[in-house]
Structure 1
Amino acid sequence: MGNTRNIAFWVILFVMILMLFNLFSGSNTAQPSSARSYSEFVQAVQDGAVQEATIDGENVRFVGSDNKVYATVKPEDAAVTDLLIENNVPLTAKPQQTSGFQSFLLSLLPFLLLIGVWIYFMNRMQGGGKGGAMGFGKSKAKMLTEKSGRVTFDDVAGIDEAKEELEEIVEFLRNPQKFSRLGGKIPKGALLVGPPGTGKTLLARAIAGEAGVPFFTISGSDFVEMFVGVGASRVRDMFDQAKKNAPCIVFIDEIDAVGRHRGAGYGGGNDEREQTLNQLLVEMDGFEANEGVIILAATNRKDVLDPALLRPGRFDRNVTVPNPDIKGREKILGVHARKSPLGPDVDLRIIARGTPGFSGADLANLVNEAALMAARVGRRFVAMADFEQAKDKIMMGAERRSMVMTPAQKEMTAYHEAGHAIVGMTLPKCDPVYKATIIPRGQALGMVMSLPEMDQLNYFKDELTQKIAMTMAGKAAEIIKYGEDAVSNGPSGDIMQASALARAMVMRWGMSDKVGNIDYQEAAEAFRGGGGAGGFSISAHTKELIEEEVKRIIDQGYEDAHKIIMDNKAGWESLAEGLLEYETLTGAEIERVMRGEPPHKGDDEEDEPTDKGSVTAIPKTKPRAKAKPKASDGDMEPEPTA
């Protein structure tokens, strides 16, 4: 409406100016006239070539001897009347064509323009737009309309438990008597908590598509403003709009931008953000009841939210939206692959097994990358090979084949990655080796990628020590091949990953008998941050003990890796030579190369069973933090999580 009023105002103003211009510039000449200079007019009068003349203000029109009408403009001091009378030219004089009403409009026009401009700016500042100079206290919440691209619960997959809890809210809005007859009340708020990309905002859009009630959406950062009181004003305005449209749903995305714990800033943190939070708390559950307004909020930082915001009565439900498991990933892939024609060899379950730890956004990106790769080569459908290439690109980075590497650098990378692979395939608790490559990807010169067999929820001590051994195998391989003095900085990333794992084992997970079952990690972080556990400091003796244990675990892993490579030196050499020749090998191809066979088997050949029984070309699943590739320079190594 505001834009319509503005356009109408400017159209009317333009029409008025155009009418006035036409009014004052209109010509009273009955017939067209040709312009002549004043000197030509005087000469014509003196020569007797003027039959008659008419004076209209400063304009002079005259009829020449050829019966044509001419016009000229007389100078201010010219005695045109005397000239015409002296030469016996019939003369007609007309008064200036300006009426009293026209004069009034002419004098009023500047004032009309000023009043119009003033009305326009006042309309912009107060009623015409929320972004105006006087409109910064208005809520920026937008009512979501699903005229196109409507999302429903059918478009949400892989998070069934979270979907069920929110479906109940939609059912309550549709049929409140079903719950109220038993004394049940509609939840006032639901907080969606989960890692980035798991589908929190998609769930909110699905609720908007299913509920059939007004749905307002706003970001937490939209409340924050440099002016004092603006955030609180926007909260009040948002709830006023919601009450007028009740029953309705208000969705606040990234609520941690405004809902952080109070008193955590400098000087007690009594700032504009906290005043905004106070107003939000009062509006959600204060002295006045807020009937029919349901608050949905999303965040991936629940730990920083104020406790008063999380209590029942404000957010009655905390809905966890986790990363999907293998079944969820398969369903999500099915949803995103609806618009893509899939080839007959595509098996979404196999793709789901090979993408452990992927969120819904990651899987959507995977399908899109696969479709782009198929289009790039001119296919009419998306094949399984496109999904494999897209997965490698997402998990390991894009290939950098244009990067120039000397033969010595390629050879060192091949032996480094072969060391990772041989140790990973030998130790039973290491994840199956999925692929080894010496083609630079991302910032890594080469990498060995291992993927787990199943979704893993716990970490075990023997498994972690074997992973550290596999991580240190790159450095052990370089020392065995080139000697202590020729080792490169390639293992720097491996050392960082091994150190992080070992410190987590000692300081967080209680996997060291000498250090004991104490969480020193939290104490160290609290001391660095000046808060938490009262600034608890770790003693010098304990620090020394921790570093000794971390060094012992890493050294033991290095010794185990060194021994395994020496015991399997022939296979390690063969694998390194195979990588130099073929550049990229899958798990099954690695085994064939180590046996001295060509990596690609014939059509009538089958892979022999392995002792470990887990090295396959198609890996299974595990959380993503444990499934990222082991890179020689460590740029893509994961940080351990509890």
Structure 2
Amino acid sequence: MRFPSLVFRVALAFGFCYLITWLINSSQGKMNDKYKFEIKTASDISQRLDDVKGIDEIKEEIENLIKMVQNPDKYRDKGANLHRGVLLFGEPGVGKTLLARAIAGESKCSFIYCTGSSFDEMFVGMGAKRVRELFTEARKHSPCIIFIDEIDSLLSKGRRQSSNEGSSSRATINQFLAEMDGFEKSENILIIGATNHEGILDTAATRPGRFDKKIHVPHPDVAGREEIFKLYLDKISKSGDINAKSLAMMTPGFTGAEIENLVNTAITQAVHREKAMADFNDFEYARDRIMMGIERKSLSMSDKDRLHTAIHEAGHALVCYYTPFAPSLYKATIVSRGPSLGATYMVPNESDAVSQTKQKMIAKIDVGMGGHIAEKLIIGGENISSGCQGDLSGITDIATQAVRHFGMFGQDASFISKDHKETSETHNAKVDETVKNILDESFDRVKTLLESKEKELRELAKQLYLHDYLNAEEMDRIISGKSFDKEVNPEVRQWEEEEYLIKF
């Protein structure tokens, strides 16, 4: 009786093992069938370098790269080593993917698109296998450009350091680097990686012979933004008063993707309003929507809270107006957008994208302090709202950066530029004391300014309360005492009392 039972148990064990193996292979096979690399032949790629706008600063670099891809033998014959990997890095939306496609289109190469996360798998060995399949496909379509978006998710320092010696992640990384080193010949294959976080890449990947050519794709300047606007404006119906140059001047710091989104939002809004074409109001709406967020129209606020908010925002706006080196005023509102009850928006100067001076950082601190001081002067210290928390936190961060990282107050707190975890308690205390002094001096400076401009502060807060929105031109007329004639909101807020903080 025991013998058949033993045979049955052995058979059952083998059957169970076979079932598990079948299930794993089946799931792996399904994943392989499901996943396909995006492969385009040279004739399928329509993008060209002329389609990529706002890259004048790096255009020569890109053109030289295209020459190497188009005619590799010319360089090899002279003894030059071709780049195996090129790293495009920059902020999201600047056009790294479009640029890679344009390089392939100009070079008349095939193009394979994938992302760094394409090689993450739960089964050991699948990531490395996918890497081999990628290079196999590239060799079939040679000459070929492999474009790996978000390559930091594949080749980051943290990924290698957190992996065990025999882990799947480390095997995937090692297989990728081995392919780049050319253990399997991969001539006429160029790998282009794109990342928003160039600093976290593994140094093993960025050493010579791998991703040794790095190209920073910057934000477009005003001329670049004008070119991008022209590209997208030609695709929509627009009124005659819309021109690319004016829009480019209105959007410092915008990326190509944000400009495309702005134009699309404007024409979409025009269609919503049953218009035949987009006009300036639609583009202004689109810019506000991108810069300021969605209006929280359903948020219930009392008239008293609205006036408190108007006083707070008027303080920011007035300090910005009178402070040298502050950003340009754009718009102030007491309509809640995002997490804030109101906001004062400023447009940075073109040079701010390059560097910040000590004067500009102090100006930012003063503008951030303006709302708090305005509430203190008009509402009174006992009634200051919690809305100042975000401002005070922000200006504390600015002051800390100026002291701890930029050495702008080195005479008071030394010129050490290190994180607080890497410095002594004595040094950290000195930094904190210097930051406190900066904020105290800002408080005194802004208080003196607003006390001397209390009439303008009250009038600006009143008009902001009555109209919900004020643009830069309207605020200039109010502050400078010029005539101000603007249609009042149909839902004008009236006070039961004859006077509340500001006399109407």
- Return the match for 1:471 from 368, 386, 401: 368
Equivalent position of 1:506 in the other structure: 403
Which of 379, 393, 397 is residue 275 of structure 2 equivalent to?
379
Please list, as runs of the form range in 1=range in 2, the aligned pairs for 1:16-415 lying within 5 A after superposition: 132-133=29-30, 135=32, 140-144=36-40, 150-176=46-72, 178-261=74-157, 265-266=161-162, 271-415=167-311
CA contact 2:160–2:169 (8 Å) conserved in 1: no
Shift of 1:462: 2.3
Matches for 1:509-588 after TM superposition, within 5 Å = 509-512=406-409, 513-521=411-419, 524=420, 527=421, 536=422, 538-588=423-473
Mapped to 2, the partners of 1:460 and 1:497 lie a distance apart of 17
Distance 1:595 1:515, change over 3 A: closer
**1:403-438 residue CA offsets vs partner (Å, 9 max, x unmatched):** 221111011111111111111111111112121111
User: Is 1:483–2:384 an aligned residue pair?
Assistant: no
Shift of 1:516: 0.9
Q: 1:288 to 1:473 in 2, by over 3 A?
A: same
After superposition, what is the alpha-carbon deviation per residue over 1:203-254, rounded to whole angstroms, capped at 9, x for unaligned?
Answer: 1222333333222122111112122222112112221222232221111111
Residue type at the aligned position of 1:489 = S
The gaps in structure 2 that reach 5 residues or longer are 1-21, 488-504
- TM-score using structure 2 length: 0.85
Larger Cα-atom Rg: 1
Secondary structure at the aligned position of 2:46 is classed as coil
- 2:328 matches 1:432: yes
Supply the distance in 2 between the matched residues of 1:173 and 1:468 (Cα, whole angstroms).
50
Q: Is the CA contact (8 Å cut-off) linking 2:89 and 2:215 kept in structure 1?
A: yes
What letter corresponds to residue 516 of structure 1 in structure 2?
Answer: S
Counterparts of 1:139 and 1:453, CA distance in 2: 46
Inter-partner Cα distance in structure 2 for 1:563 and 1:437: 25
Contact residue 163 and residue 203 of structure 1 kept, 8 A: no
Structure 1, unpaired ranges of 5+: 1-121, 528-535, 603-642
3-state DSSP class of the match of 1:227? coil
Contact 1:262 1:269 in 2 (8 A): no
Which residue of 451, 476, 498 corresponds with 1:591? 476
Q: Do the aligned partners of 1:262 and 1:274 also contact (CA within 8 Å) in 2?
A: no
Sort the Cα spacing of 1:501 and 1:365 in 2 relative to 1 into closer, same or farther, 3 A.
same
Q: Distance in 2 between matches of 1:262 and 1:395?
A: 34
Residue-by-residue CA offset, 1:49-92 (whole Å, 9 max, x unaligned): xxxxxxxxxxxxxxxxxxxxxxxxxxxxxxxxxxxxxxxxxxxx
Moved more, 232-241 or 479-488: 232-241
2:3 equivalent in structure 1: none
Displacement of 1:337: 2.0
Counterparts of 1:266 and 1:190 in 2: how far apart (Å)?
26
TM-superposed deviation, 1:366: 0.8
Q: Check 1:585–1:269 CA distance in 2 against 1; reply closer, same or farther (3 A cut).
A: farther
* Conserved? CA contact 2:252–2:349, under 8 Å: no
Give, in whole Å, the separation in 1 of the partners of 2:70 and 2:159: 41
- Judged with a 3 Å threshold, the aligned counterparts in structure 2 of structure 1 residues 347 and 181 are, in CA distance, closer, same or farther, namely same
Q: 1:474 to 1:263 in 2, by over 3 A?
A: closer
Secondary structure of 2:470's partner? strand
The answer as to whether partners of 1:475 and 1:491 remain within 8 angstroms in 2 is yes
Q: CA deviation at 1:135?
A: 4.1
1:258 match: secondary structure: helix
Measured in 1, the distance between the counterparts of 2:439 and 2:445 equals: 10
Q: TM-score, normalised by structure 1?
A: 0.68
Distance 1:263 1:348 in 2: 44
